[in-house]
Chains A and B, each alone.
Chain A
Amino acid sequence: MEGILFIATVLLVGWFVTAPVRGRQRGLADDADVIALRADRDAKLRELRDAELDFATGKLTREDYELLDGTLRSEAAQLLRRLDTKEGQTA
């Protein structure tokens, strides 16, 4: 009984694990630069949002906020442009 159960387990596991190799999928799908840029973009957008919250809660003065927001927006816009270019190349 134990032997049969184990053979069934081995067959099931073998079938499950080797299925992709039997299907012969090839190639790696991701573009490292695009993924890195997307991560940077999301981090930058989060930073913008944090700065907004810091201003709204009085942790940043208007002058500090405007300076920081301007810097962050220009960095974010730059990232979005680079991302657009990269995604255009990939498509």
Chain B
Amino acid sequence: MASFGRACLALGLTLAAFGALASVYGARRGRSDWIAAGRRSVYALAMVLTAAFAVLEAAFIRTDLSYKVVAGHSSTTTPLFYRMAAPWSSQEGSLLLWVWLLSIWSSLALLGTRRRLAAVAPYATAVLLGFAAFFAALDLFLANPFAIQSPAPAEGAGLEPLLQHASMMIHPPMLYSGYTLFTIPFAFAIGALITGRLDAEWIRSIRRFALLAWLCLGVGILLGARWSWTELGWGGYWAWDPVENAALMPWLTGTAFIHSVMIQEKRGMLRVWNVSLILGTGILAILGTFLVRSGILQSIHAFGGSTLGKPFLVFIGLLLVASVALVSARLPELRSRARLESLVSRESVFLLNNFALLALCFVIFWGTFFPLISEAATGSKSSVGPPWFDRYTVPLAIVLVLLSGLGPLMTWRRASLANARRNVLWPLAAAAFGVLVIELLSAAGQKPLALALFGAAVFVAAAVVQEFARGASARRTAAGVSWPVALIGLVRRNRRRYGGYLVHLGVAVMLVGVAASSTFQHIRDVRLTPGQTAQIGGYDIRYLRPSSSVEPGKVSIGAVVDIAKAGRHVVTLRPTRSYYPTLDPTLGAVSRYFNGNAETQVGLRAGVTRDIWGAISPDLQPLQPMISQADRDFGNASPRLLGLLVSAIAARYQAAPPAALFRVIVSPLVEWIWIGGTIGALGALIAMWPARALALVRIRRSVALRSPRPVPQA
């Protein structure tokens, strides 16, 4: 079926080219038949790429080693669950996933706008198909996932052990969904600029896709952080790695867009800003993909030594030039119809939030590309580390959290100072009280930035609670219902507003987790032999005994560690390091089991107050003579005998264990990062859930009939 898969990819490229041309031709000649053909090309593209992806997925599930990509990224011993996720562990498969997801999201966007935006949509279709053509061409000519080898090898290289984690099933598709979904507002913005239809309609039509992109990218980033915490074995969830940063940048500018676009919708303001923001976000999304594909910057995520760098650079350059040219050409029509009426308004808070988000994005961009900038300027490559990022990002994060609390308390257009003061009074008092309590009960007073962030987070939480309480109270009075019914009714009738407030709360909670865990965590690397004890953060770590196991395609060596506090048992951790055999022919038959890829299985006790995290690096050096002897004596042994030898070596380790290196971390409030993320995701889902069109009918009627003002209801 490989030929069929590749033919589908080629057909997809043809469809993308035809559809783009048909859309532009139809738009320029006013021919709705050609425009419809262009739109149908997108639907057809989704169909053929679904078929192509299904062929690849089936090859991985069957472990068809005649596919080069399967032999390179899977094996007969790779479990089914990971085989299903293995297509996107490869360069070829992940590019196919990218273009497939793009075709699916583009189809949904065009289906949703088929009766609207008749002028803008054809150009948006052409842009989306242009993206699809670029990625399909890369896959077809430079990274073919359907390349075949004959004869097929007896065994594959296996899936990179670090990728054998449950979140890998969802993390890359979520990230790619975020990236590809951001191309939809990008494409419609280009369409709006080409046609000069720069009113609020295009923004209204794509708002939900921008929100979905933001949500998917955010969830993808968070899943990546969780993977890093529970799988990577270095003991962190964020390392300011270029690829992590590349995902964060469009998320930040996307956040700015989601806020400032509301000002355009309501006031017709910031049209240049909004169109530039979404064009920038779209380009950053492609830049993120480029960083992973090109291997231009050192990253644990990057597919190094790739040939895709140049085409990506040309493509990004083209997008940049086209975006700047179009915005410049339309500048006179993009002028705002209204002005900011007051500094004490939600608009001004949103503007400040935009500046802070863009400043954050700029800092991350500079830090990420510093190795290239320094190389260009001085000839030598140097990079900046987490302390550099923290110096700039932490103060900006505090400002952002404060603004996310202030925004919900402000009204649109203007508010009297007295009323604004009254609205912020209770949240400010709560923040001051919170800071006092934290100062008294913890060591946070010695870390002013962390304390400021905690205070800002309490301010946000109090502001959000106040908003929900006031809204529910007003609705309860107006409708005469109970508190829970009033609360549900309030959220149902004002999904965007209260969903958004929940997102603010979630982000504040998440940042509390980040601040607490990064500022107050205890970390210790210690070498222990069985029976020895070490102390960390008030806990006693006791290495009880070693452990080992041999499974098909994997040898695991670990430890059983007792964690106690003040003499009382807290938890038993079982950190393990697993070794996967390599196909490297320069190694002996038994050495291959111990010198291939290895991964850490973290011992983790997660809790709402703190996580206790442990990883082990066993010392295999004392086993080396035994392994070398086995290589010499049993070079041509059967797989069954090799299995027995490996089991014997593992048993030897367990019988006479050498000292092992442990990394133990006691990190407070890490769980709140994931809890905050979940609250934020829930809020985003509520905000994007379609509201009933009828909700505006009452207001519309009252305006149309000039009836007396209705009694305001929540």
B206 to chain A minimum Cβ distance, whole angstroms, is: 12
Docked-complex contact B471 and A21, CB < 8 angstroms: no
Interface residues on A, range: 35 or more
Give A63-91 as 1s and 0s: 1 = Cβ < 8 Å from B's Cβ atoms: 11100110101001100100000000000
CB contacts under 8 Å to B, within A1-51, are 2, 5-6, 9-10, 13, 16-21, 23-30, 32, 35-36, 38-43, 45-51
Docked-complex contact B494 and A53, CB < 8 angstroms: yes
Q: Which of B64-72, B195-203, B372-380, B656-664 sits within the interface?
A: B195-203
Docked-complex contact A61 and B713, CB < 8 angstroms: no
Secondary structure dominating the interface of A:
helix
Determine the residue in chain B with the shortest Cβ distance to A68.
B413
Tell me if B44 is interfacial: C-beta within 8 Å of chain A. Answer: yes
- Tell me the complex Cα distance, A54–B710, Å: 14
Which residues of chain B come closer than 8 Å to A38, judged between CB atoms?
Answer: 201
Which residues does A use to contact B, with CB under 8 Å? 2, 5-6, 9-10, 13, 16-21, 23-30, 32, 35-36, 38-43, 45-61, 63-65, 68-69, 71, 73, 76-77, 80
Determine the residue in chain B with the shortest Cβ distance to A36.
B199
Which residues of chain A come closer than 8 Å to B31, judged between CB atoms?
Answer: 26-27
B471 in complex: contacting residue of A20, A24, A57, CB < 8 Å = A57
Determine the residue in chain B with the shortest Cβ distance to A73.
B703
User: Given A57-B714, A60-B419 in contact, is the A45-B414 Cβ separation under 8 Å?
Assistant: no
Which residues of chain A come closer than 8 Å to B700, judged between CB atoms?
Answer: 41, 45
User: Given A5-B4, A36-B199, A39-B199 in contact, is the A53-B11 Cβ separation under 8 Å?
Assistant: no
- Tell me the complex Cα distance, A65–B411, Å: 10
Docked-complex contact A30 and B119, CB < 8 angstroms: yes
B176 to chain A minimum Cβ distance, whole angstroms, is: 24
User: Given A17-B41, A30-B119, A57-B474 in contact, is the A36-B201 Cβ separation under 8 Å?
Assistant: yes
Instruction: Jot down 19 A-B pairs with beta carbons below 8 A, ordered by A.
Output: A18-B37, A19-B37, A20-B34, A20-B40, A21-B22, A25-B32, A26-B33, A27-B32, A28-B119, A40-B268, A46-B696, A49-B699, A56-B712, A56-B713, A57-B714, A59-B410, A59-B470, A61-B419, A65-B712
Which residues of chain B come closer than 8 Å to A58, judged between CB atoms?
Answer: 422-423, 470, 474
- Tell me the complex Cα distance, A25–B712, Å: 48
Give B687-714 as 1s and 0s: 1 = Cβ < 8 Å from A's Cβ atoms: 0000000011001100110100110111
Which residues of chain A come closer than 8 Å to B475, judged between CB atoms?
Answer: 56
- Tell me the complex Cα distance, A63–B415, Å: 10
Which residues of chain A come closer than 8 Å to B310, judged between CB atoms?
Answer: none
Determine the residue in chain A with the shortest Cβ distance to B704.
A80
Docked-complex contact A64 and B416, CB < 8 angstroms: yes
B15 in complex: contacting residue of A13, A36, A59, A65, CB < 8 Å = A13
- Tell me the complex Cα distance, A5–B52, Å: 12
User: Given A47-B266, A56-B478, A59-B419 in contact, is the A9-B3 Cβ separation under 8 Å?
Assistant: no
Docked-complex contact A77 and B706, CB < 8 angstroms: yes
Which residues of chain A come closer than 8 Å to B19, judged between CB atoms?
Answer: 17
A42 to chain B minimum Cβ distance, whole angstroms, is: 7
- Tell me the complex Cα distance, A50–B347, Å: 14
- Tell me the complex Cα distance, A36–B118, Å: 12
Which residues of chain A come closer than 8 Å to B44, judged between CB atoms?
Answer: 13, 16-17
Tell me if B412 is interfacial: C-beta within 8 Å of chain A. Answer: yes
Which residues of chain B come closer than 8 Å to A23, judged between CB atoms?
Answer: 33
- Tell me the complex Cα distance, A25–B32, Å: 6
9 A-B pairs closest in CB distance: A20-B36, A36-B199, A30-B118, A52-B712, A39-B201, A57-B470, A56-B474, A56-B712, A25-B33
Tell me if B508 is interfacial: C-beta within 8 Å of chain A. Answer: no
Which residues of chain B come closer than 8 Å to A17, judged between CB atoms?
Answer: 15, 18-19, 37, 40-41, 44
Docked-complex contact A55 and B712, CB < 8 angstroms: yes
CB contacts under 8 Å to A, within B491-524, are 494, 497
- Tell me the complex Cα distance, A71–B338, Å: 14
- Tell me the complex Cα distance, A29–B474, Å: 44
Docked-complex contact B415 and A48, CB < 8 angstroms: no
- Tell me the complex Cα distance, A69–B44, Å: 49
B497 in complex: contacting residue of A16, A35, A50, CB < 8 Å = A50
Docked-complex contact A32 and B197, CB < 8 angstroms: yes
- Tell me the complex Cα distance, A53–B35, Å: 42
Which residues of chain A come closer than 8 Å to B199, judged between CB atoms?
Answer: 35-36, 39-40
- Tell me the complex Cα distance, A6–B415, Å: 65
Which residues of chain A come closer than 8 Å to B494, judged between CB atoms?
Answer: 53
CB contacts under 8 Å to A, within B207-242, are none
- Tell me the complex Cα distance, A29–B114, Å: 11
CB contacts under 8 Å to A, within B432-488, are 467, 470-471, 473-475, 478
Tell me if B536 is interfacial: C-beta within 8 Å of chain A. Answer: no
B363 to chain A minimum Cβ distance, whole angstroms, is: 34
A35 in complex: contacting residue of B4, B116, B409, B695, CB < 8 Å = B116
Docked-complex contact B11 and A13, CB < 8 angstroms: yes
Docked-complex contact A21 and B415, CB < 8 angstroms: no
A87 to chain B minimum Cβ distance, whole angstroms, is: 13
A46 in complex: contacting residue of B41, B266, B714, CB < 8 Å = B266
Determine the residue in chain A with the shortest Cβ distance to B31.
A26
Which residues of chain A come closer than 8 Å to B412, judged between CB atoms?
Answer: 47, 50-51, 54
Docked-complex contact A51 and B411, CB < 8 angstroms: yes
Which residues of chain B come closer than 8 Å to A47, judged between CB atoms?
Answer: 266, 412
Which residues of chain A come closer than 8 Å to B34, judged between CB atoms?
Answer: 20-21
Determine the residue in chain B with the shortest Cβ distance to A60.
B411
User: Given A9-B48, A25-B36, A56-B478 in contact, is the A42-B696 Cβ separation under 8 Å?
Assistant: yes
A27 in complex: contacting residue of B4, B11, B30, CB < 8 Å = B30
- Tell me the complex Cα distance, A76–B30, Å: 33
- Tell me the complex Cα distance, A61–B422, Å: 11
Which residues of chain B come closer than 8 Å to A63, judged between CB atoms?
Answer: 416
Give B1-24 as 1s and 0s: 1 = Cβ < 8 Å from A's Cβ atoms: 101100110010001001100100
B411 to chain A minimum Cβ distance, whole angstroms, is: 5
Tell me if B381 is interfacial: C-beta within 8 Å of chain A. Answer: no
- Tell me the complex Cα distance, A14–B385, Å: 54
Docked-complex contact A29 and B48, CB < 8 angstroms: no
Indicate the member of B41, B201, B494 with the most A CB atoms within 10 Å. B201
Tell me if B194 is interfacial: C-beta within 8 Å of chain A. Answer: no
Docked-complex contact B119 and A39, CB < 8 angstroms: no
Which residues of chain A come closer than 8 Å to B474, judged between CB atoms?
Answer: 53, 56-58
Which residues of chain B come closer than 8 Å to A13, judged between CB atoms?
Answer: 11, 15, 44, 47-48
Which residues of chain B come closer than 8 Å to A68, judged between CB atoms?
Answer: 411, 413-414
8 extra interchain contacts, Cβ-Cβ under 8 A, other than A6-B7, A21-B37, A64-B419?
Answer: A17-B18, A20-B34, A30-B116, A39-B201, A57-B467, A60-B415, A64-B415, A73-B709
